[in-house]
């Protein structure tokens, strides 16, 4: 597979890679003039390109025919960030590779972290897009309050919430459908409160189980979306 690079305005026939991408292409991948690569704009447009000036600071490329890739069906992941930014980065990275289209960081009553480093995690996301060679870049939404998010009109077909309480729950694999827009909400290490669960049920969220074992937040996120993607 050809290396992937993201450029916003790929409609232009002649473009330049960013300094970071130029250095990676020339110094790490050892690319040179006439080598081919794939460029995307993150919104479904992609094309085959050729290096015409292999400059490690500003590589010049020529783009051939551009094509449009269909937008994937919405697969949303809402979760309460953990104390560890490494674990939060793992969630973004792996969920992007699996196929999440939208991330919704939330703060709930038992949240351990209430601040979100958008720039840091967007870089993780972009790297994962390149690694998994996807044509659409997922969107990381602004961090928001659980109550506001759950009560809002999301316009999503299937809405699930995973929790650890000993209450009636369904197996997610029996309810999910990758042909429809979907969303899963995963709580903090301290779990959701009964009040928070009641609010979700009132807003048509289905309470779901991810198996017998008690999972950490990042594991629950990855398990949930993997099943939903099947």
Residue 45's DSSP bridge partners are: 68
Residues 125, 175: Cα–Cα separation, whole Å: 28
Same domain, 112 and 150: yes
Query: For 83-93, what is each residue's pLDDT tens digit?
Result: 999 999 999 99
> Domain holding 53: CATH number?
2.40.240.20
> Which pTM was predicted?
0.92
Same domain, 99 and 41: no
Query: For 31-61, what is each residue's pLDDT tens digit?
Result: 999 999 999 999 999 999 999 999 999 999 9
**Residue 65 pLDDT:** 87
CA of residue 34 relative to chain centroid, distance? 33
Span of 8-17, 50-59, 202-211 with lowest mean pLDDT = 8-17
Give the number of residues written for the chain. 230
Structural domain boundaries enclosing 21: 4-68
Same domain, 59 and 95: no
Average pLDDT of every residue of the chain? 94
Same domain, 136 and 39: no
Last residue of some domain: 50, 68, 86? 68
Counting beta carbons within 10 angstroms of the beta carbon of residue 123, is it exposed (0 to 12), middle (13 to 18) or buried (19 or more)?
Answer: middle
């Amino acid at each position: 597979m050809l290396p992937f690079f993201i450029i916003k305005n790929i409609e232009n026939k002649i473009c330049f890679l960013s300094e970071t991408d130029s250095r990676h292409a020339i110094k790490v991948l050892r690319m040179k003039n006439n080598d081919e690569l794939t460029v995307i704009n993150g919104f479904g447009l992609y094309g085959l390109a050729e290096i015409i000036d292999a400059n490690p600071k500003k590589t010049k490329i020529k783009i051939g025919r551009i094509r449009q890739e269909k937008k994937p069906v919405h697969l949303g992941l809402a979760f309460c960030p953990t104390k560890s930014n490494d674990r939060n980065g793992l969630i973004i990275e792996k969920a992007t590779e699996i196929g999440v289209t939208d991330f919704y960081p939330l703060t709930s009553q038992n949240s351990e972290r209430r601040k979100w480093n958008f720039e840091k995690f967007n870089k993780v996301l972009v790297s994962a897009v390149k690694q998994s060679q996807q044509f659409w870049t997922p969107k990381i939404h602004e961090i928001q309050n659980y109550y506001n998010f759950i009560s809002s009109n999301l316009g999503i077909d299937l809405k699930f919430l995973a929790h650890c309480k000993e209450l009636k729950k369904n197996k997610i694999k029996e309810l999910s459908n990758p042909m429809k827009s979907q969303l899963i909400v995963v709580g903090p290490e301290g779990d959701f409160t009964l009040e928070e669960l009641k609010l979700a049920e009132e807003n048509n969220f289905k309470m779901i189980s991810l198996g017998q074992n008690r999972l950490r937040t990042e594991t629950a996120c990855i398990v949930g979306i993997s099943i939903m993607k099947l």
